[in-house]
Structure 1
Amino acid sequence: MFRYIVGWLFLAVSVVAQAAVPVCKSFSQQGREVTFHLDNGAAFQLKLCGQSVVRIWYSPDGKLQRLNSSFAVINEELEDVGVVNVNEEASCYEIFTPVLRIRVNKSPLKLQVFDKYQKLIFSDYGDGRTCEGEKKVEYKMLRRDEHFFGLGEKTGKLDRRGETYKMWNSDRPCYGVADDPLYKSIPFFMSNYRYGIFLDNTYKTEFKFGTESRDYYSFEAPGGEMIYYFMFGKDYKEIMGHYIGLTGKPIMPPKWALGFAQCRGMLTREDLTREIATGYRKRGIPCDIIYQDIGWTQNLQDFEWRKGNYENPKQMLADLKSQGFKVVVSQDPVISQSNKKQWQEADSLGYFVTDSTTGKTYDMPWPWGGNCGVVDFTKPEVADWWGAYQQKPINDGISGFWTDMGEPAWSNEEDVDRLVMKHHLGMHSEIHNVYGLTWDKVVKEQFEKRNPNRRVFQMTRAAYAGLQRYTFGWTGDSGNCDDVTQGWAQMANQIPVLLSAGLGLIPFTTTDISGYCGDIKDYSAMAELYTRWVQMGAFNPLSRIHHEGNNAVEPWLFGEEAEQNVKKAIELKYSLIPYIYTYAREAHDAGLPIMRPMFLEYPYDVETFDTDAQFMFGKELLIAPVVKKNAKTKNLYLPEGNWLNYNDKRTLYSGEQWLTVDAPLSCIPMFVKQGSIIPTMPVMNYIGEHPEYPVIFEVFPAVEGQSASFLLYEDEGTDLGYLKDEFLKTPINVKTTVEGFEIAISSREGSNYQLPSKRNMIFRFYVEKSPQKVVIAGKKQKKVKPEKLHDQENIFADAVIWSYDKEMQILNVLVPDSGEALEMSIIQ
């Protein structure tokens, strides 16, 4: 109670401290923009970006001028809004759209937004805002049953209510489950009252979700403009659609990036890289990527291979490519002073951030490489200079970059001396949070400029809203540094961190699988935790095994049992690549993450607000990783519908209930919704190893009279054709009837891309008895033994065949994939 009284007094004092309560005296209009002029000289502007999206700008001096254009927003005119009419009443102004009723009360100034049914959605609280010097605070009405989600990569529970968060990109090694801020700043959140807010301010903004009062929440900025966007939607997906409209679509990664990757802090040698590659292939554990950490360079950041560590890097890359491996190398955004030639070059060209107190290049301490100059990526001339350097290892044969330390490192809140840094576009207090973003923009644009029609792979640690246009992410240095085997809480918290990142438009991301922090002294003692890390990490869109220093974390080091369980988890992900890649396309089109909080799919089920230890993987799969030591069961929540245990394919559970299921170390609790189709493929050593692979549609039929469906997406996988309609979509539908099942393969959509080879489709049903027949156009199709059908899988068939494995209770129907429409019946 005391904190609420204090909060009320704080607000009351703030209001009294103002010379007078601002009153609207008049308004002016220019197209979509309506500016309300206040008696104290301030201006309050609304811009209709769309029927459901409003830009709100409060300017105490009335100038409505930005120092810099938005780093995040690239489109403010989302749709035609027609003629914007302002209705003036005695006490207020009102603006109507087909979706919203927007009211601006005159005295005192107060903004309220209603839906078209006159339900109040969003409202200022009290006088709505305070200004003290450069600091600006907005106060908003808080309902007793209101919950908040978002703000990107943040620790703690997904529901932000009752917590305070800051935006200041921070290097937090071995961060705990409640540390804030972290590496990325994404000031976008959503309310269960069906609206979202994006505060477009790059300073150290702060969000207080009911910590000062039960009646209001607030967001504030210590400098810059108070500009925020209000977005209304029927659900969270629609709100995210508005946000992607404002800030841009996520780029798609190369298909190989969805496989597994191996790394460690001291993975900076040719012999070790070759040894790891051999280890994976010898054991038949799938892997696509091997990373090289920052020590691969001769100097920071000359992009030269370290002498003595690499005998023949070009040959190494060629040899690894022949084995199916891609190599991704780290880069830092600095030039070491010990790298005299490049440092002097950048210094003479004025390409470094300067010290505002001396006018000279800022002398930045760095975790390695000695003191450095910080490259100023806000200066346009820097782009081509940096692009020429980073192209060198690309020409050698690397496949992408890992942009690390872009906060920049060692410039957290406590490092106030960094605030004297002056960038081309402004002082560090404004640029800090977007520094990594401006770097990632240069990396991506220079890559595409010098490597036409090739997808960039770039995984970044520090960024700001809008990063999805340039890069992918990872969640930084998690894990328990004091005792690595006690990192269970950190692993558990990575689930909400990853889910929240997805809500902030980072759909392609990963944790450092194994926890990154902590010396591994006893591999057998670490085996259980490592296994559970990999099982959870298998459902990260990007899956990277990584640990600090020279702590090796290859699967075969943790004992035979761990190796087999880890291999099983990795193979599971590889089998799901057709499913995952389809959802990768949806992430690009709609901004929806692959790894989804439960409430994203079930927004009206309040039980899903507290399901931080499980998630949806696409719409059809529910994943509940085990995150407790010695646990052999898992408590989880199943939402509406019926759900099958994906591990045995048959056990059926009713939804809308909590239950406890078996969870031995050999598996991860995983469920598929009844009425789903899951496209899979045979497990390979790496993605693309066998382009002629069959697509296996696992069918979990709907109840009688209803259908299961899936729209399979495919493209070339590494080029930019996906941006030019060069892709294919194959609609699949399976209807459950009284007699059995009706399978409908519709004609393939798309004409600008062709499959690399002929292939088969296999429809797999888990049924207790063999059907009587499979029929196409009244003609019975040939039944064969399971072994024969298996032998035919990778050989393009000339006719439909089917088999039933009585022991496994599996029905397979093999169909040559012609791309043409086909209908067939399974008669039970």
Structure 2
Amino acid sequence: MKFKDGYWRMRPGVRGDYATAALDVTADDGGLRVLAPTRRITRRGDTIDGPVLRVDLSSPMPEVIRVRTVHFAGAVPDSPVFEVRDDHPDVKIAVTAAEASLTSGDLTVRVGRDAPWDMTFTAGGRELTRSGGKSLGVMHDADARHFMVEQLRLSAGELVYGLGERFGPLVRNGQSVDIWNEDGGTSSEIAYKNVPFYLTNRGYGVFVNHPGRVSFEVGSESVSRVQFSAEGHDLEYLIIHGPSPAAILRRYTALTGRPALPPAWSFGLWLSTSFTTDYDEATVTSFVDGMAGRDLPLSVFHFDCFWMRRFRWCDFEWDPEVFPDPEGMLRRLKERGLRVCLWINPYIGQASALFDEGAAAGHLLRRPDGTVWQDDHWQAGRALVDFTSPAAREWYAGKLRGLLDMGVDAFKTDFGERIPTDVVYADGSDPERMHNYYSLIYNQTVHDVLAERGEAVLFARSATVGGQRLPVHWGGDCESTFEAMAESLRGGLSLGLGGFGFWSHDIGGFEGRPDPAVFKRWVAFGLLSSHSRLHGSGSYRVPWLFDEESVTVLRSFTRLKARLMPYLYAAAVQAAAEGLPMMRAMHLEFPGDRACDHLDAQYLLGPDLLVAPVLSADGEISYYVPEGVWTRLLDGERVTGPGWRTERHGFDSLPLLVRPGAVIATGARDDRPDYDYADGVTLDAYELPDGSATTVTVPALDGRAAAVFEVSRDGDRVHGRRLEGAPAPWNLRHAGTLAAAAPEIDHIEIILSAKE
């Protein structure tokens, strides 16, 4: 939200009162409290009238400093609030006549005691950012609304990333961003997943700890500042020191939560009925038979909306006209080794029997006059479950348990963004602050039910801070075009920079029917994403409906992903343990390479695989290769960076490069994603430097280590040693030379040729 009209003037009707100095400073309870008047105090009479801001400085964990500003303390809503870790670490506090400071780890905040207002954040003797004159304050607009506002300096060349799943350019500079969940597809500035957290290439991140609408002006109202504001009387933000982007993400997710580890089977191929298509059990069976008959490994079958009766979403009852024997159908699917996912949402249509049941029990969201909130959008007379009520959550969860008892394994939690603010919540939560937060308690309710059975995975569309704890998320409704494929990728990379470890998208696009070229290119991208789902709107997504080559391409990349599962699941374990996404923006892995700063059409899948999806029918692509000798995984060709390459790829190929010095664990099976990864695993070493040693952990299906190996190079010899794990066959390969070990052998040596 913009308040100013240029540098000097305010917009019509806007008045701003800014902190002018840190007049009173007290140290207590491991923090600092500052009273900051919004006018110059030169005599006692100046202390009468006008706002005085209370600024509290503290640290919830090392290398993190919290700033909380309050105007009217009695007007601050107390719910909902994000769950943020607070370890109360030891801090250093100093107060002198000139300044007050608080230090946590290497991060220090200094507040000058004299005018003008100056609050500076430094680390290692280097300034990260600062709040200067006319930065921190109180704003009133022409409608008498009250906002808290802060501006933090952007240094020359400083770039901003994050703020949730956004589909425009990855670098946020110059953009206006409202943190407000909306259902708007992937082609606009609004988003399903809004996260008030950003990080910059200057070694720090900023988390605005406010669950409602936060408006960011990223070098837009003032081109050398990031401004954020929220309506109300308090504003809290946390400065998170890195200095690397990965260190910032680790600390941010330590504060707000890290992803649960999804079950290994969820990394296989998902096939959907699609949205508004006609289908019944015969249709489902024909799809499953068609996949099996064409040797296409399938892991999950997903039933979208119309598994329930029309007008009754959600009543959690199978439509008897098209699914007369749901228990039998599910049993038959399970006998074929498939998992089953069902579409749900938080709405209750008026025609559903659950509407009267929920209304009578007080489980549905109400208007201020006590009537049930309803409208006709999406479902006629729909109501909304009030998840702030423990009884409503248990009621909703009970309906899901009945489906799990039938044999359902997962839920696609659609919607959660169209949340009204003219309502009253059971727990008294502020409706504006609940708008985004609703997605968290909705998805948490469903995830908890699944976790009761031991394995939990969602396919969720809406999210906010903390939502990363509840994977998986998908990118929402996109068109079936190359442009939509690119915007979806930008959204996923942006979301990953907010701590979301697992992300997917509709292979082929959602709206419209993709032409075969789009479908085949999207297949390669989709199977080299964390999770992979074939889904559309009004048309099916089985590959043989496009052309026979689509079948071949899908088979090739589905089997490739299965073989890569020892490597990919290790990356998933890292995402759960450290908060680093599986799909990583290039800047995250190469922060010192300025050529990577703006790249948003390629990414790292895990730490060592560079993926550049082909976004054209003719196969021509230009992509950037960072420094070193990389190896194309699909054909073994070496590619030297740094530099740009332009190539042309068939539908069965794309730039997929292995990082120099990496050791990639490849599995012995290609027919399913969940198997014993350590049994027959191959360790592929790429361009190992002489004298190097790399530890490779092959995970078990529960995320623990099944085997640990060390691969090293000594001159013309490459050594592989099993450090941990039960005896099982394993292989070592370097530059195409393969050595296989029997189960009892724990050491392999490869002698390289002179040219290597």
Compute the TM-score of the two structures, normalised by the length of structure 2: 0.91
Whether the 8 Å contact between 2:259 and 2:575 is mirrored in structure 1 is yes
Question: Given residue 68 of structure 2, which amino acid in structure 1 is its aligned partner?
Answer: W
Shift of residue 198, structure 1, vs aligned partner: 0.8
> What residue in structure 1 maps to residue 699 of structure 2?
713
Over residues 622-646 of structure 1, what are the superposed CA-to-partner deviations in whole Å (9 max), with x where a residue is unaligned? Answer: 111101232x332111112211121
Question: Given residue 164 of structure 1, which amino acid in structure 2 is its aligned partner?
Answer: S
Question: Given residue 742 of structure 2, which amino acid in structure 1 is its aligned partner?
Answer: P
> What residue in structure 2 maps to residue 762 of structure 1?
731
1:287 to 2:285 alignment? no
Question: Given residue 425 of structure 2, which amino acid in structure 1 is its aligned partner?
Answer: H
Structure 1 12/204 Cα, relative in aligned 2: closer, same or farther at 3 Å?
closer
Question: Which one of 121, 131, 156 corresponds to residue 113 of structure 1?
Answer: 121
> What residue in structure 1 maps to residue 162 of structure 2?
150
1:314 to 2:327 alignment? yes
Structure 1 691/470 Cα, relative in aligned 2: closer, same or farther at 3 Å?
closer
Question: Given residue 744 of structure 1, which amino acid in structure 2 is its aligned partner?
Answer: R
Shift of residue 329, structure 1, vs aligned partner: 0.1
1:256 to 2:265 alignment? yes
> What residue in structure 2 maps to residue 774 of structure 1?
none
> What residue in structure 1 maps to residue 245 of structure 2?
236
Quote the Cα distance in structure 2 between the aligned partners of 1:708 and 1:461.
38
Over residues 738-757 of structure 1, what are the superposed CA-to-partner deviations in whole Å (9 max), with x where a residue is unaligned? Answer: 34322222123xxxxxx8xx
Quote the Cα distance in structure 1 between the aligned partners of 2:36 and 2:735.
69
Structure 1 246/11 Cα, relative in aligned 2: closer, same or farther at 3 Å?
farther
Shift of residue 116, structure 1, vs aligned partner: 2.7
> What residue in structure 2 maps to residue 730 of structure 1?
707
Structure 1 681/141 Cα, relative in aligned 2: closer, same or farther at 3 Å?
same
Quote the Cα distance in structure 1 between the aligned partners of 2:403 and 2:15.
61
Question: Which one of 713, 718, 722 corresponds to residue 741 of structure 1?
Answer: 718
> What residue in structure 2 maps to residue 800 of structure 1?
none
Shift of residue 660, structure 1, vs aligned partner: 1.5
Shift of residue 12, structure 1, vs aligned partner: 10
Whether the 8 Å contact between 1:674 and 1:701 is mirrored in structure 2 is yes
User: Which segment is superposed worse, 84-93 or 384-393?
Assistant: 84-93
Shift of residue 527, structure 1, vs aligned partner: 0.7
- Structure-to-structure mapping, 1:63-212, within 5 angstroms: 66-68=77-79, 70-71=81-82, 73-77=83-87, 81-82=89-90, 84-106=91-113, 107-117=115-125, 119-131=126-138, 132=140, 133-173=145-185, 175-176=186-187, 179-212=188-221
Whether the 8 Å contact between 2:166 and 2:491 is mirrored in structure 1 is yes
1:441 to 2:444 alignment? yes
Over residues 362-382 of structure 1, what are the superposed CA-to-partner deviations in whole Å (9 max), with x where a residue is unaligned? Answer: 0132323x1111000011221
Question: Which one of 568, 575, 582 corresponds to residue 594 of structure 1?
Answer: 582
* Other structure's SS at 1:426 match: coil
Structure 1 693/116 Cα, relative in aligned 2: closer, same or farther at 3 Å?
closer
Question: Which one of 364, 373, 377 corresponds to residue 383 of structure 2?
Answer: 373
> What residue in structure 2 maps to residue 702 of structure 1?
688
Quote the Cα distance in structure 1 between the aligned partners of 2:390 and 2:118.
41
Question: Given residue 371 of structure 1, which amino acid in structure 2 is its aligned partner?
Answer: G
Whether the 8 Å contact between 2:5 and 2:11 is mirrored in structure 1 is no
Structure 1 817/208 Cα, relative in aligned 2: closer, same or farther at 3 Å?
farther
Quote the Cα distance in structure 1 between the aligned partners of 2:375 and 2:742.
62
Whether the 8 Å contact between 1:166 and 1:205 is mirrored in structure 2 is yes
Over residues 391-445 of structure 1, what are the superposed CA-to-partner deviations in whole Å (9 max), with x where a residue is unaligned? Answer: 111000011100011113xx5xxxxxx4312223434322111111111111122
Shift of residue 110, structure 1, vs aligned partner: 2.8
Question: Given residue 145 of structure 1, which amino acid in structure 2 is its aligned partner?
Answer: G
Q: CA RMSD in A?
A: 2.4
- Structure-to-structure mapping, 1:451-490, within 5 angstroms: 451=453, 454-479=454-479, 484=480, 487-490=481-484
> What residue in structure 1 maps to residue 739 of structure 2?
813
Question: Which one of 813, 816, 822 corresponds to residue 747 of structure 2?
Answer: 822
Shift of residue 23, structure 1, vs aligned partner: 3.5
Over residues 223-247 of structure 1, what are the superposed CA-to-partner deviations in whole Å (9 max), with x where a residue is unaligned? Answer: 3631111100120111011111111
Question: Given residue 122 of structure 2, which amino acid in structure 1 is its aligned partner?
Answer: F
Whether the 8 Å contact between 1:125 and 1:216 is mirrored in structure 2 is no
Quote the Cα distance in structure 2 between the aligned partners of 1:462 and 1:233.
28
> What residue in structure 2 maps to residue 719 of structure 1?
none
Quote the Cα distance in structure 2 between the aligned partners of 1:342 and 1:473.
27
Whether the 8 Å contact between 1:32 and 1:49 is mirrored in structure 2 is no
Structure 1 4/458 Cα, relative in aligned 2: closer, same or farther at 3 Å?
closer
Shift of residue 821, structure 1, vs aligned partner: 4.9
Percent identity between matched residues is 24
> What residue in structure 1 maps to residue 519 of structure 2?
530
> What residue in structure 2 maps to residue 432 of structure 1?
435
Shift of residue 170, structure 1, vs aligned partner: 0.8
Structure 1 738/67 Cα, relative in aligned 2: closer, same or farther at 3 Å?
closer
Over residues 117-171 of structure 1, what are the superposed CA-to-partner deviations in whole Å (9 max), with x where a residue is unaligned? Answer: 2x21110132322312431211111222110111120011111111111111111
Whether the 8 Å contact between 2:31 and 2:93 is mirrored in structure 1 is no
Matched residue pairs, number? 728
Question: Which one of 397, 417, 442 corresponds to residue 407 of structure 2?
Answer: 397
Shift of residue 462, structure 1, vs aligned partner: 0.9
Compute the TM-score of the two structures, normalised by the length of structure 1: 0.84
Over residues 434-461 of structure 1, what are the superposed CA-to-partner deviations in whole Å (9 max), with x where a residue is unaligned? Answer: 1111111111223334x2xx12111111
Structure 1 120/191 Cα, relative in aligned 2: closer, same or farther at 3 Å?
same
Quote the Cα distance in structure 2 between the aligned partners of 1:519 and 1:636.
28
Structure 1 183/259 Cα, relative in aligned 2: closer, same or farther at 3 Å?
same
Question: Which one of 28, 31, 40 corresponds to residue 26 of structure 2?
Answer: 28
Over residues 279-330 of structure 1, what are the superposed CA-to-partner deviations in whole Å (9 max), with x where a residue is unaligned? Answer: 1111111110111112112432221111111132112112211212111001
Structure 1 692/306 Cα, relative in aligned 2: closer, same or farther at 3 Å?
farther
Question: Which one of 398, 411, 422 corresponds to residue 424 of structure 2?
Answer: 422
List alignment gaps of at least 5 residues for structure 1: 412-417, 521-525, 717-721, 749-754, 768-810
